């Protein structure tokens, strides 16, 4: 009977696998056979839609399985967006741009880069219009660059200033008997503060207030210039929520008119002086307009370091020393590569992995320029500090030169529920058990490691930035700065985006013409692809969590999950830094 049951189960499994393979290869065939080219029609308006996550680098996947199953869906590359806007400026088929996106899933520095590119686009004489039913604050910051800005008559604008919220767990730890044992250096190193206190420290409040005000100043000055509203008036509007309905928004000049979507389309046709076709930024990129072509043999290597820094291989979302260092070596050994631009978008992470990446860059004798994205802090700054030049957007979060170690401890919980742990050892070394209080010996050894890495970190910065140890230490201590503040204290050289960094690299390399080569390559083999299919439960689980929790709470869940994976001493930002 058991034999028959196993036989039937095997036969059933075989046919299920056969069916899944049939679906898989049918999908591959469909993907390879139905890729009609995207045509840019005459009299087109390019529609900026940023509901997908904007990543600094999201390379096209050549694997047909990934294409067929759309595993890489839901993201757009910033570099391709900027290139597309550049190309649209010279494209006779594009009459203008329409910013029409319900949400903007990009960081402030990324939005700033897109906004600057739209300002350049306007210099061509083509129009930029914007419309929405409701403007979030990020959306309004982007859309305010438009020549004319419109809102649904029953819509509203969220324009109320910036807020950063941090959750504190000390009372929770005391109540349930589980806590984090923390060893740190840096009075501003607030990544672990939520586990040590039930409220924000004065030092942390000082730095958060400083960088929020710096970012808000950048936003209001940009909106003020575009909308011709004094900054003082914008702050009054924010204080009193005077964009909360279309009537107030129009009265305060936040918009040009309150109209419906069909009326907005009429306005677009009036601006284009003809009937129009609309093409999304995603389709425009797919038509080939997301890249710039050059026949030059000279190359500038742009290496993208995006995500948390973790010891190991790494992938598109995690910076691992294996993948990044391999990319650095390829660029270094390619005689056609004349300079390297490292694009950093990272809150930091493993101190060991950061040091290994720093070393690989130190071995590279070619000109090295760093471009900082939304965030390049702690370990993200560690890997940037030895560059010849560092560029940051004014709103980039950077600095946070500090170190910490954190490990969970459940001694009180185990005691409360009647669990006693006993250990037997051959030597009296500094050991740690999650079920026992942290010993003085273990604390002292770990503290020594933290201090050693902090000293190394500050020394690396001092050498790279040609500053004294004392000067770096004075602006370190885990303190977070914006790019605008970092320019003043010497942590960055210039304010600007990736294009500015590339042009600086070209000058350092002393070349006239060039083309860009992007690194790393994120090639997935078939086992990697199959492991992420819904049949393995991964994608389905992530999708369900996102759908159930929403973006904000899913991000919180994911950050806590990542915190559980931390190994070794860390150089990283507060693991929850939510600005809204």
DSSP 8-state class, residue 369: E
Nearest C-alpha neighbor of 516 from the set 302, 373, 332, 306: 302
Catalytic residue among 138, 179, 189, 282: 189
- Residue spans of the chain under pLDDT 70: 1-36, 60-73, 186-191, 523-570, 572-580
Catalytic residue among 143, 144, 226, 378: 378
For position 477, what pLDDT does the model report?
87
- Supply the pTM of this predicted model: 0.84
For 268-315, the DSSP string reads HHHHHTS--EEEEHHHHIIIIITS-----S-EEEEEEEESEE-SSS--
User: For this structure, is 326 an active site residue?
Assistant: no
Whole-angstrom distance, CA of residue 310 vs CA of residue 315: 10
User: For this structure, is 431 an active site residue?
Assistant: no
For position 539, what pLDDT does the model report?
47
Phi/psi for 252 (5° steps) reads: -95, 10
Phi/psi for 30 (5° steps) reads: -65, -40
Domain 299-408+457-534+569-579: CATH superfamily is 2-enoyl-CoA Hydratase; Chain A, domain 1 (3.90.226.10)
Task: Name residue, tokens 């503040």.
Answer: 485
- Sequence-distant (6+) residues with CB within 8 A of 140 are 157, 158, 159, 223, 243, 254
For position 362, what pLDDT does the model report?
96
For position 94, what pLDDT does the model report?
97
Record: fold of 44-159+241-289: 2-enoyl-CoA Hydratase; Chain A, domain 1 (3.90.226)
For position 554, what pLDDT does the model report?
53
For position 1, what pLDDT does the model report?
53
CA angle 573, 579, 580 (to 5 degrees): 170
For position 538, what pLDDT does the model report?
46
Question: Start-end ranges of CATH 3.90.226.10 in the chain?
Answer: 44-159+241-289, 299-408+457-534+569-579
């Amino acid at each position: 009977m058991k034999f028959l049951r196993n036989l039937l189960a095997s036969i059933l499994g075989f046919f299920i696998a056969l069916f899944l393979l049939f679906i898989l290869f049918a999908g591959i065939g469909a993907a390879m056979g139905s890729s009609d080219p995207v045509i840019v029609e005459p009299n087109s308006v390019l529609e900026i839609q940023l509901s997908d996550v904007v990543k600094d680098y999201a390379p096209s996947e050549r694997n047909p399985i990934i294409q067929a199953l759309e595993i890489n869906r839901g993201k757009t590359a910033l570099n391709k967006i900027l290139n597309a806007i550049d190309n649209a400026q010279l494209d006779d088929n594009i009459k203008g741009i329409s910013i029409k996106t319900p949400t903007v899933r990009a960081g402030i520095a990324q939005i700033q880069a897109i906004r600057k590119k739209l300002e350049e686009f306007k210099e061509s004489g083509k129009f930029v219009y914007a419309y929405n039913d409701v403007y979030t604050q990020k959306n309004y910051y982007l859309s305010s660059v438009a020549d004319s800005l419109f809102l649904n008559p029953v819509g509203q604008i969220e324009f109320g200033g910036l807020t950063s919220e941090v959750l504190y767990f000390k009372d929770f730890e005391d109540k349930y008997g589980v806590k984090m044992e923390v060893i740190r250096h840096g009075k501003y190193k607030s990544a672990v503060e939520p586990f040590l206190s039930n409220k924000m420290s004065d030092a942390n409040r000082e730095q958060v207030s400083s960088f929020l005000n710096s970012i808000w100043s950048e936003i209001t000055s940009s909106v003020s210039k575009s909308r011709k509203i004094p900054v003082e008036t914008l702050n009054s509007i924010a204080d009193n929520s005077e964009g909360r309905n279309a009537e107030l928004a129009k009265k305060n000049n936040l918009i040009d008119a309150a109209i419906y979507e069909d009326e907005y389309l009429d306005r677009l046709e009036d601006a284009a002086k003809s009937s129009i076709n609309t093409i999304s930024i995603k389709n425009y990129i797919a038509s080939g307009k997301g890249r710039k072509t050059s026949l030059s043999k000279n190359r500038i290597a742009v290496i993208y370091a995006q995500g948390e820094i973790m010891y190991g291989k790494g992938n598109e979302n995690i910076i691992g020393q294996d993948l990044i260092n391999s990319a650095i070596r390829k660029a270094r050994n390619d005689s056609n590569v004349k300079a390297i631009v490292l694009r950093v978008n990272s809150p930091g992470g493993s101190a060991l992995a950061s040091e290994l990446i720093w070393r690989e860059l130190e071995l590279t004798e070619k000109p090295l320029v760093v471009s900082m994205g939304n965030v390049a802090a702690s370990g993200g700054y560690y890997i940037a500090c030895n560059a010849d030049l560092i560029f940051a957007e004014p709103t980039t979060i950077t600095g946070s030169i500090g170190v910490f170690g954190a490990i969970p401890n459940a001694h009180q919980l185990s005691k409360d529920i009647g669990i006693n742990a006993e250990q037997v050892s051959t030597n009296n070394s500094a050991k740690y058990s999650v079920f026992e209080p942290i010993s003085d010996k273990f604390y002292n050894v770990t503290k020594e490691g933290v201090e050693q890495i902090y000293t190394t970190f500050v020394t690396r910065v001092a050498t790279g930035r040609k500053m004294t140890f004392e000067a770096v230490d004075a602006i370190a201590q885990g303190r977070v700065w914006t790019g605008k503040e970092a320019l003043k204290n010497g942590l960055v050289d210039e304010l600007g985006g990736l294009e500015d960094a590339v042009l600086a690299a070209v000058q350092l390399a002393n070349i006239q013409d060039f083309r860009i080569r992007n690194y790393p390559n994120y090639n997935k083999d078939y086992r990697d692809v199959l492991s992420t299919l819904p049949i393995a439960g991964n994608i389905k689980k992530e999708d369900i969590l996102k759908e159930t929790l929403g973006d904000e709470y899913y991000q919180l869940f994911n950050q806590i999950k990542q915190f559980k994976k931390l190994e070794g001493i860390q150089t990283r930002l507060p693991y929850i830094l939510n600005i809204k």
